Structure 1
Amino acid sequence: MVKILIADDHAVVRGGLRQFLASTEDFDIVAEAATGQEALDMVRSSGCEVVLLDITLPDLNGLEVLKRIKQVKPTLPVLIFSMFSEDEFALPALNAGASGYLNKDSPPNQILAALRTVIGGARYVSPTLAERLLAGTVNAGKRLPHEALSQREMAVLLLLSKGVPLTQIADQLHLSVKTISTYRARILEKLDMHSNAEITRYVLQHKLG
């Protein structure tokens, strides 16, 4: 039995998937998460072999959760399961490390095909999206400003957004205050901002923290 973690903030969606997959012989839902943080915790503790991940979660953006999962378990297949159109989010999700993208209105046989494909180590896209990718008619998706930040800059961004003083950030990251000031200046430049308040608003808006 393949162990599945479902991360979706709607109990009815999780329940529907649980009921549907219980009728199969090869899948077992071992964990459910309603938030991004719960999903990250369960990735570490549940022993899951594949993740079904929604993009819209109450605390963290699903694509941010995806990136963090990949940092912890780079080889764990993550299948994005979303109500958003493939046109808007499929390519950004695949570029961020997703093994596949599935719309929530997909028929049951397509859900099973997607799960079996990603568990087998391949990437999954719907037949419709595959045709459009070959035709070159899919929107590549907008790159968000914070995607240009390095891992260290991202760490500093999140700490700044929580109001942590530069001296404390320096202590936490084992760097000098001068180096942290340089990181802050780079972050402001890359995000086209001028203050920590703007950073906080940005992090809240994009559910990064």
Structure 2
Amino acid sequence: MTDTVTLESPDQVAVGNKCATVVIVDDHELIRKGLAALLASAPDFELVGEAEGSPEALRLLDTLNPDIMLVDITLANGNGLELIKKIRSRSATTAVLVSSMHDESIYAERVIAAGGMGYLCKCNAAKEVLHALRKVMDGHIYLSPAMTERVLKRAAGSPYQSEPDPIRSLSDRELEVFQGIGEGKTTREISKQMHLSIKTVATYREKLKSKLFVRNGAELARRAVEWSLQHEV
């Protein structure tokens, strides 16, 4: 499924003499429609495609080479963080901005580390979405003021930082498994979602127990559910 909207306007973003081309990657049709309508109202952006999951997003990347991809963390087929890494390995010119409902304090830095150019909460107003897109197209990283302050304080070694959260020590894959456990998914369901063997997912579960200092699978599941509820995952 690929929808294309063509816009013509003298207003431009800093990408040469054309509008900035955008591909939306989100597994919720209503979200895609809302973002499409928003982009249609902006004379400096052109929506050239939509995708529900990673495979389709990568096909659109190879075919269209868009200026920016607006990506969610949770996708129908794949994970947004892994998708960002694949986009970066395939294209040096396509910027990635994440738009998600997941907790910014958990995912924003991971998005940047994966090669993304910013993290935007879906709860933001339409005006802020366009501001974030324009900032990214100007070559800047977009984060909320609160997240920017958090990152700067950590970089400066602020004495007011709280005790380290063991969740921060998890790799992106480990976090994805942990999130799946918190959502009540079985090992088989997680392996299917992540395209990994059941044995590999079981290995990740053992690593999670070690890193999070829990004794067994029941404690790990309880910890994952509590975390998911706390962060509204």
- CA contact 1:92–1:141 (8 Å) conserved in 2: no
- CA contact 1:93–1:101 (8 Å) conserved in 2: yes
Supply the distance in 1 between the matched residues of 2:150 and 2:119 (Cα, whole angstroms): 14
After TM superposition, list the pairs within 5 Å mapping 1:110-125 onto structure 2.
Answer: 110-125=128-143
Residue in structure 2 matched with residue 89 of structure 1 by the alignment: 107
* Closer/same/farther in 2, CA of residues 133 and 145 from structure 1, 3 Å limit: closer
After TM superposition, list the pairs within 5 Å mapping 1:22-33 onto structure 2.
Answer: 22-33=40-51
* Closer/same/farther in 2, CA of residues 197 and 105 from structure 1, 3 Å limit: closer
Q: Find the partner of 1:59 among 77, 82, 94.
A: 77
Q: What residue identity is the alignment partner of 2:120?
A: L
Tell me the secondary structure at the aligned position of residue 105 of structure 1: coil
After TM superposition, list the pairs within 5 Å mapping 1:26-175 onto structure 2.
Answer: 26-136=44-154, 137=161, 141-144=168-171
State the percentage of identical aligned residues. Answer: 36
- CA contact 1:53–1:79 (8 Å) conserved in 2: yes
Supply the distance in 2 between the matched residues of 1:10 and 1:107 (Cα, whole angstroms): 18
Tell me the secondary structure at the aligned position of residue 141 of structure 1: helix
Tell me the secondary structure at the aligned position of residue 151 of structure 2: helix
Residue in structure 2 matched with residue 17 of structure 1 by the alignment: 35
- CA contact 2:65–2:94 (8 Å) conserved in 1: no
Q: What residue identity is the alignment partner of 1:69?
A: I
Q: What residue identity is the alignment partner of 2:110?
A: P
Residue in structure 2 matched with residue 198 of structure 1 by the alignment: 199
Q: Unpaired runs of 5+ in structure 1?
A: 148-160, 163-195, 204-209
* Closer/same/farther in 2, CA of residues 62 and 201 from structure 1, 3 Å limit: farther
- CA contact 2:53–2:76 (8 Å) conserved in 1: yes
Q: Structure 1, residues 146-193: CA drift from partner, whole Å, max 9, x if none?
A: 68xxxxxxxxxxxxx99xxxxxxxxxxxxxxxxxxxxxxxxxxxxxxx
Supply the distance in 1 between the matched residues of 2:140 and 2:50 (Cα, whole angstroms): 24
Q: Unpaired runs of 5+ in structure 2?
A: 1-18, 155-160, 175-190, 205-233
RMSD: 2.4
Q: CA deviation at 1:135?
A: 2.8
User: What is the number of residues matched between the two proteins?
Assistant: 157
Residue in structure 1 matched with residue 179 of structure 2 by the alignment: none
TM, length-normalised to structure 1: 0.68
Tell me the secondary structure at the aligned position of residue 29 of structure 1: strand
- Runs of 4+ in structure 1 over 6 Å off: none
Supply the distance in 1 between the matched residues of 2:115 and 2:34 (Cα, whole angstroms): 26
Q: CA deviation at 1:113?
A: 1.2
Supply the distance in 2 between the matched residues of 1:146 and 1:106 (Cα, whole angstroms): 27
* Closer/same/farther in 2, CA of residues 135 and 26 from structure 1, 3 Å limit: same
Residue in structure 1 matched with residue 22 of structure 2 by the alignment: 4
